[in-house]
Amino acid sequence: MHKSGMDREIVTKLIAIAAWITIIAIAYATLTHVGFVYAIYFKLSPYLMRPAMQTYAHLEHVIAFAILGALFGFAYPRRLILVCCIVFGAAALLETLQTVTPDRHGTLIDALEKMAGGAAGILFARTARRLWSAKDRPS
């Protein structure tokens, strides 16, 4: 294997590590005390033009899972079904687990927002990989 192949393999492994760390961070933020989420909101709010908390929550669901979907899509490009199971399964499982926490509540709308974000991230990763591989091929 030549140097660029090894470099690509290392980058893919690092992206896989980032994907698993991201899913752990999302799980923590989803299942921890709700005060943690409010603390993040109040720190970010001034930089985001002070959106309403509900608007922020919707954006946060979509963006977090879009990043997660993209990371898993880049980490496991030949395993679309596995990636979809992980991303969509995490969205459903985390929303379900929120129903057993004392100060949180899982909703179908939240799960659907997370799944939509995850799907967008997966689609982005697949499209980007196809464009890059087409660019790398000789004409």
Residues 24-36 have pLDDT tens digits of 999 998 888 777 7
Contact by Cβ (8 Å): 68, 125 = no
pLDDT digits 0-9 by tens, 69-101: 999 999 999 999 999 999 999 999 999 999 888
Q: Read off the pLDDT of each residue in 122-134 and give the average, rounded to a whole number.
A: 89
CA–CA separation, 35 vs 103, rounded Å? 9
CA–CA separation, 127 vs 130, rounded Å? 5
More confident: 66 or 9: 66
Query: The whole model's pTM is what?
Result: 0.82
- Please name which of 63, 35, 34 lies closest in space to residue 48, comparing C-alpha atoms: 63
| Predicted pLDDT of residue 137 | 67
Cα atoms in the Cβ-side hemisphere of radius 13 Å centred on 11: 8
Say if residue 46 is exposed, middle or buried (CB neighbours under 10 Å; 0-12, 13-18, 19+): exposed
> In the numeric block, which tokens belong to residue 22?
């991201």
> In the numeric block, which tokens belong to residue 105?
């509540």
